Amino acid sequence: MSLFARYAIAVEKRTSFVQTGEMKLVDEANYRERVYDLVREIPPGRVMTYGQIAEILGEGYTARTVGYVMHGADSENVPWQRVINAQGKTSTGKFTLPVNLQQSLLESEGIKFDAKGKCDLNSYLWFPKGYEQLEEELPSLFERRRDLYQ
């Protein structure tokens, strides 16, 4: 197991402890597989965000831990490129070879990015069946942050 994978597992366990106040061991294989199963459902030309996946999967999942899991995804079996950040940008940037591989893969699926490397989430965001939301129901980033601190 790679150093990064061991770190991701430690973060998953720590996140569970911080959120609940008690240490719960995460079923590591099941945790990852639930993320990968959902990501495999994303159709070409559509995206989901790390936070959206975490919210759908529920307790114990955070945008950050979904990111760690996605970093270790098998690119042959999981369309990792279809998971982006809440700003509509790719998060791999200079971490992949070739540089901006994720954005290039998404562009080849028909997703358009502006000069700042941002895609329009209103056009490309995908929701699995049963989790569809109307645009006016989506809380703004400001509202989500305000709710966190109340």
pLDDT tens, 93-140?
666 667 788 999 999 999 999 999 999 999 999 999 888 764 445 555
CATH class of 3-148: mainly alpha
Contact (CB, 8 A) for 123 and 88: no
Confidence (pLDDT) at 18: 47
- Read off the tokens for 90: 């790719």
Residue 148: pLDDT band (50, 70, 90) is low
Distance CA(112)–CA(104), nearest Å, equals 10
Distance CA(146)–CA(103), nearest Å, equals 31
Residue-wise burial string across 97-135, b where 16 or more C-beta atoms lie within 10 A, e elsewhere:
eeebbbbebbeeeebebeeeeebebeebbbeeeeeeeee
Confidence (pLDDT) at 77: 94
Helix (H) or strand (E) holding 84: strand 83-84
Confidence (pLDDT) at 75: 86
pLDDT of 63 higher than 60? yes
Confidence (pLDDT) at 114: 95
Confidence (pLDDT) at 98: 78
Confidence (pLDDT) at 135: 47
Closest CA to 71 of 51, 91, 94, 43: 91
Distance CA(84)–CA(39), nearest Å, equals 11
Confidence (pLDDT) at 89: 94
Domain boundaries, the chain: 3-148
Distance CA(80)–CA(60), nearest Å, equals 20
Render pLDDT for 11-44 as a digit per residue (tens, 0 to 9): 555 444 445 555 445 567 788 999 999 999 999 9
Distance CA(72)–CA(70), nearest Å, equals 5
